Every structure is written in C-alpha cells, then in structure tokens.
Amino acid sequence: MAAMSSTDSSPSALKLSTQDLYRLLEPITVPSHSPRARFTNWGLSFTCKPLAVFEPENDYQCELILELARREGKVLRAVGVGHSPSDLACTNGFMLRATKMNHILEVNVEKRYVIAQAGITLNDLHRELAKNNLAMSNVGSISEQTLAGVITTGTHGSGIEYKVLSDSVLALTLLVADGSRVTCSRNENADLFIATLCGLGSTGVILSIQFEVEPAYRLKEEQESVPFDEFVSNMDTLVHSAEHARFWWFPTSDTVRCSYSNRTSEPRNPAGSWLWHSFLGHHVVQLLLFVARFFTFLNPLIANFACWLVSEKTVGVDDSHRIFNVDCRYPQHTTEWAIPLKHSQACLRELRAWLEQEHADPHGIRPHFPIEIRVSASDDIWLSPSNDITLFSSLKCDPLRPYGFNVPYRRLFEGYEAIVAKYEGRPHWAKAHKLRPDTLRKMYPRFDDFVRIIESVDPQGIFRNDYVQRHIMGRPIDTRVYKQRRD
C-alpha cells in the first residue's frame, strides 16, 4: 500500500476560515443519511449517532478535523473498526474514523521495525509484513482491530515471556489538542509516550506508529483437553510449558482445553476441517444457541457439545498470526479481568464453586461458553492491566450472541466480577466495567500521573468522550447512555 500524506504547501489549519474548513472537510465527511454515519460496536452492545463522522486519509485532514472541533467546542473521538465491546469509542460529538489511515510508511528489515499509519488493521499489517519476511512477535485472539486500537487499550496475546502488544511500540506521532504534531518515545516526551500506550485515545490522535517486529516464523500448536482439577493443580507448570500457552475452561464439563504453541521450522500443516470446525462448530452451535435463548436448560448441553467437538488431541503448524488468532464466531458480551498469576488457582476454584452453586439452583445461571485464560508478563505502562504485576493471567468471559440476538449476561458478569475483584483483579479497558477513579487509583500507582498528562496536553477535554469522563475523570455519566438495546 502506498503512503498518503499532506504536502508542505498545505495551508495551516489555524489560518483557514471556518468556511474553508467546512469546504475542505466535505469530501471526507460521511453523509448524515449514510449507514456509516451511525456507529455500532462489534459486539452490537453500544451505538451512537455522532454529530459528524469524518474519514481522513492523511495527517493534514486530521489537523483540519481537530481545528474544527476546537473552534466549535466539540469532543473529537478517534476510532478504528469499533471492536471494543464497551462504549469506549462512542460520542455525540465528532468522530474521526481512522480506517482509511491504513498505509505502511516504512519497513526496515535490518532494524526490524515498521512504521504504519494508525488505522491499519492487524490483518493488513500481517500481509504487508509477510511481503518482507517479517511478523509481529505476539498477537491477540483476533486481527480485525486497528493497530492504534490495540495499542491504546492494553491488548495482549499470551505467553509467559511476552508483554502487552503496546510494549513493542518504539515511537509515536501524535496530534495533540493544540493542533501540533508531537513525536514521542521512551527517550523523547517519555511521559506522553507511556501515557498514550494505554491512553484510551485521551492524549490525542495517533497518526503513525513505529512498531518492533521480528523475522517471520511459524508456530506449532498442540492442543489437548484435561480435567479442571488436573489443570489447576499443575497451572504453574503448564503456563511455562510453551512460548505461548493459553487455555479455555468449559465449566459445564469441568474440562480445560489447553493450547501450547512454539516456534518451528516445520512446513505448514493447519489443523481442523471445514465440517468439524466451521459447519458443526460454527453454524450448528449457533443455531442451537439461538434455540437456547428460549429454552435455557439447553445451554449446558450445548456447551458440552462444543467441548466434545474440540476434545481430541490436535497438532497444527501455520504462520504465526494464524495460530494466534481464533474464530470469535459471533458478537459477544465480554468482560475480561487480569489477576496476578499467584492468585489464579484460588480464583479459578472459587469461580467453579460459584458456578456449581448456580447450576444446582433451578433458576441459576446457565453459561454456554468457555472462559479463556491467557498469561502475560509485567510491563511499566501506566494504565496497562499488567503494570507492576510480576506475571498475570487474564480471565475472559464471553456470552455469545447467536445471529446478533441478545442473551442474559448481567447476573453472570456481576458474580464473575465480584470474585475476580477479590483477587486484585483489574478490568480490561476495552471491555465494559463499573470502576471509577477512586477504585482505579488504588489499582494503578501511576493513575494520577496519567490524569496529569491528559490535563496538560488537553486542558479543554477535546479528546474526553463519555467513557473517559466517567472512568478517568469521575464524571457522573450513566454507562447505559449508548446501549443498543435496553438489556
């Protein structure tokens, strides 16, 4: 993909009249009657109708958008594909949709880094890196998100020696509230850099990202299913047994599906089949889950069926990102919390005891999905869930929404979150949660440093949408303002 950028001859946004701003922005303004003028996140849980939606293709157009927001006193929210299952991207002000800012600006094979525009998706980044025999060192469960979205939410993969993906960022170019472009790294504007790495879009508009990569590699993934007690008793050993280990616990069958991935030079030999994993595992399971919306007693049976589908030992070899990524199948309600690894066994046992109590209750919760468990290393990023934790495990709870229809989840989330919070849990920033500054300040030693930075670079709060105002600044804003359905 060829890079696109503004030219030196472009007039400064500050010197333009408001009328000229409107004229220059018209070609990149989404018409109000277009479906794209409305935003709904991937999980179908939050939606908003921004005052205006802009789709810039270069840095200069971003400057024009910011200048208009400054003059009209509007909140400006930069978004990607909207994968966060919370209202993190929602606004009633201006929305800057960065998906056309998706170009590679530089690839340095020798020094192993790439510079890309912020709106490039990981899928596109994988393809571009592969052309140069390069790859990301770690990837999360999906690659539909934009690179900037991954960075600003503390997204992580799995691997006891691997930190959140933001840790691979070497430098950023940022458009801050006064209209200036700022380059930051650990050696230049270091506080702004660290704050932006998990900054929830509140420090400015990320224009480009210098990202560390490595030579392309394949992974050999071995999967097996083990009883829950065996997994928990040996968890300390299992999380260290591969470069990238991750697990899926099926509570209804008391079984844990274990995945162990290591770098290999073996030829590609993907595991799985269309009949087993696509037709049965995707389409048939989705149909059954839809029926279970009306007959909830079926949910444990469906969960056991899904567990049985993946019960055999499998071995697969593929390009790294194909092994890292999993089929998320359908929209989901999602909550995810990180807890110190030392508490994981006790936390998992308490979660099982609670779910067993629910199962014994005729009116109890009937989960239909596995709880995903991943492990990662500590980092020094101020708002990263793994900040200042030696090792952490991430427990992700995803009630699936067949065909996009709603399913009960609130009681499940309340019980789950009450337990993980007892074990020093911290919520994933991209997921919906109820915590406010008084609680978050106790969890994050550098929380006030983060607030200081965003107040210094954005004193008027141009980049503070309702999510940031609620969770970071403590404003009394209802979490259900942008709810797609009143569930």
Burial group, residue 37, by CB count within 10 angstroms (0-12, 13-18, 19+)? middle
d(CA 354, CA 252): 12
φ, ψ of residue 114 in degrees (nearest 5): -135, 145
What gap in Å lies between CA 316 and CA 269, rounded to an integer? Answer: 6
**pLDDT at position 390:** 62
pLDDT (0 to 100) of residue 276: 66
DSSP bridge partners of 90: none
Beta bridge partners of 116: 104, 209
Is-contact 214 135, C-beta < 8 A? Answer: yes
Which 3 state secondary structure label does DSSP give 210? Answer: strand
Q: How far apart are CA 149 and CA 390, in angstroms?
A: 25
pTM (2 d.p.): 0.93
- Burial letters 190-222, b for 16+ CB under 10 A, else e: ebbbbbbbbbbbbbbbbbbbbbebeebebbbbb
What pLDDT score does 1 carry? 38
Tokens of 399: 């009630």
pLDDT at 2: 38
Q: What are the backbone angles phi and psi of residue 317, rounded to the nearest 5°?
A: -125, 130
Spatial strand order of the sheet with 52-54 comes to 52-54, 94-97, 76-79
CA angle 272, 276, 279 (to 5 degrees): 120
Neighbours of 314 (CB within 10 A): 14
**Tokens read off for 388:** 């200042």
52-54 and 94-97 strand pairing: parallel
Local structure of 54: helix, strand or coil? strand
Question: Each residue's pLDDT tens digit in the chain (487 positions)?
Answer: 334 344 455 789 989 999 999 999 999 999 999 999 999 998 888 999 999 999 999 999 999 999 999 999 999 999 999 988 899 999 999 999 999 999 999 999 999 999 999 999 999 999 999 999 999 999 999 999 999 999 999 999 999 999 999 999 999 999 999 999 999 999 999 999 999 999 999 999 999 999 999 999 999 999 999 999 999 999 999 999 999 999 999 999 999 999 999 999 999 999 977 666 777 878 898 899 899 999 989 999 999 999 999 999 999 999 999 999 987 777 888 889 999 999 999 999 999 999 999 999 999 988 888 899 999 999 999 999 888 776 677 888 877 888 888 888 889 999 999 999 999 999 999 888 999 999 999 999 999 999 999 999 999 999 999 999 999 999 999 887 887 654 5
Residue ranges and CATH numbers for the domains of the chain are 18-216+435-474 (3.30.465.10), 218-427 (3.40.462.10)
Question: Do 396 and 336 form a contact (C-beta atoms < 8 A)?
Answer: yes
- Cβ within 8 Å of residue 449, ≥6 positions away: 191, 195, 382
The residues, any chain, with a CB within 8 Å of residue 332's CB and separated by 6 or more, are 43, 85, 398, 399, 400, 401
**Per-residue exposure over 387-400, b if at least 16 CB sit within 10 Å of its own CB, e if not:** bebebbbbbbbbbb
In this predicted structure, what is the pLDDT of residue 44? Answer: 86
Q: Are 91 and 461 in contact (CB under 8 A)?
A: no
Burial class (CB in 10 A: 0-12, 13-18, 19+), 289: buried
Nearest CA to 172 among 154, 187, 157? 187
Q: Which amino acid is at 224?
A: E
What is the distance between the alpha carbons of residues 142 and 152, in angstroms, rounded to a whole number? 16
